[in-house]
Amino acid sequence: MAMKNKNRPLIDSLGQIEHQTTLTTEGGIIDQDELKPEIVDANGLSVVSEDEERLKEYIKEAISVSSFVETFKDNAHDTLIKLLALQDNKNPLKKGGAGIAYRTDVLLMHCKMEFSTEENIVFDSILGMISTFPENNSYRLEPASFQRFVKYSDNSYIYKIFKKGTEKLKKRHLEFEFDGDDEVTVPWFDVLHYHGAKSKGTDVAYIEFVPTDFFKDLALCSGIVHGAYGKLEVTTQLQGKYTIALYWFLESKKRFREYPGAPEGVFTISIDDFKYQFSIPKSYQTNDIKRRALEPAKQSINAIQECDFTFDYTERKNHGVTVGYQFVIKNKQSIGSSAGEVKKLEDKTDDPLFSKVKIFLESSDIQFTDEQIVSVCDQAKRCGKDAKDMMQIIVAFRKRLDDMTHEPVEEPLKYLCKMIGLQDQSEQVKRNKFNSFTQNSYNYEDLEKQLLDN
């Protein structure tokens, strides 16, 4: 990227105090922090001289589905130059800092991403950094810097997330699907490396990342190309690929109107389109979609205090057969908790059962928020379970999480609550002649069958 400026400063800005003024070769006085370089294309023609609206139209066309391959192969670098002409590190198009990620419609609607929870967190952290610092060529992400955006009780857990997510993402390409069977595989990084801390001294863990020009285009086009914004403090609380994907989809639809004058955030989608959008197996029946995707997402998303919307859905039927869904997205009046809600949570976290369950979960390396632990305790009380019962159940739950012979647990909170509520058919009652008590011997295979059937 070249710069042309005859009225150059006499000294370099390196080492200067912020907003310190300097003389130029033409005798003027400038604040180098306010300078915006004149960016030129490969032919030396000025990009800044173009009308801003023409720049935006070029970018919209370049990042569209219709010119996808041409964009990636031929136009990605030119598009990046034009995007940088509209912004810099001090004035990025996306506001909110690294805690806000932006996913354009190309990523939301056409990229068949089936990332795990860990991959999604790292992916969104990368998007947040790129869109906050557009001029950077490479990025360094320290897990410690993202600690304030998450709600893990164990501060070291964010390091495990970043390490595991990065290792998985190294093997990923972006898979874009058009017209059903037409797929394009695109590399989205030139460098992706996790550096683990070797000691507890000055050495810190971090991710090194260099994006491809095309991926950087997608990260920087906020405000120009339609997409959605996601808060890391929300996305890090979501579990399960369908829940995370539906959250982003709903974010992009919050202000959608099906026709002029229609209410915002109300839309319909057919069963086939829903399966396609979220990569749901074609073999899934309506009940499977409801049980595996819709209900877990509804329970999880609507329960997150920091999420600025709630949603509901109804089945649309034709001659008694479900053919699609209607979604209704409602913006919350207030994102923060009321004083009454905060007091209610504080009262529940003072419960002795809460403290014991929290210790059991943390010792088993299971990360739940205080709100989620309260839900677990409420379920335990409804089912007549005490602390000893919960210790056994949590041990069994940890074994289930580590069991690679079954599908990964997509909604840990819901799964644990079901474990608490289900009465194992192989329960054995053992009576001690000195102390009368009941001991549960869990049959995990039967339990798994019951969980899948509910």
Say which residue, 152 or 329, is predicted with more confidence: 329
Instruction: Give the residue from 165, 296, 290, 169 showing the smallest Cα distance to 236.
Output: 165
DSSP-derived pairing of the beta strands 100-104 and 227-231: antiparallel
Taking only the tens place, the pLDDT of each residue in 8-67 is 555 544 444 544 555 565 555 555 444 444 444 555 454 555 577 888 888 888 777 666
User: What mean pLDDT is predicted for residues 76-101?
Assistant: 89
Q: Where are the alpha helices (DSSP H) in 254-294?
A: 271-277, 286-289
pLDDT on residue 31: 54
CA 289 to chain centroid, in Å, comes to 21
Question: How high is the mean pLDDT of the chain?
Answer: 79
Taking only the tens place, the pLDDT of each residue in 384-405 is 888 998 999 999 888 888 877 7
Task: Using a pLDDT cut of 70, give the percent of the chain over it.
Answer: 74
CA 282 to chain centre: 25
pLDDT of 430 > 80? The answer is: no
On whether the CB atoms of residues 87 and 93 are closer than 8 A, the answer is yes
Sign of CA dihedral 166, 172, 175, 181: negative
Which CATH architecture best describes the domain 93-236? Orthogonal Bundle (1.10)
Task: Identify the CATH assignment for 257-331 out of 1.10.3760.10, 1.10.10.60, 1.10.10.10, 3.30.70.360.
Answer: 1.10.10.10
Tell me whether the CATH fold assigned to 93-236 matches the one assigned to 257-331. Answer: yes
The domain ranges of the chain are: 1-34, 93-236, 257-331, 340-453
Q: Are 352 and 362 in contact (CB under 8 A)?
A: no
Cβ–Cβ under 8 Å, residues 78 and 67: no
Q: Report which of residues 129 and 264 the model is more confident about.
A: 129
For the ranges 41-55, 85-99, 242-256, the lowest mean pLDDT is seen at 41-55
Q: Which of 166, 170, 165 is nearest to 194 (CA)?
A: 166
Determine which of 66-70, 96-100, 182-186, 415-419 has the lowest per-residue pLDDT on average: 66-70
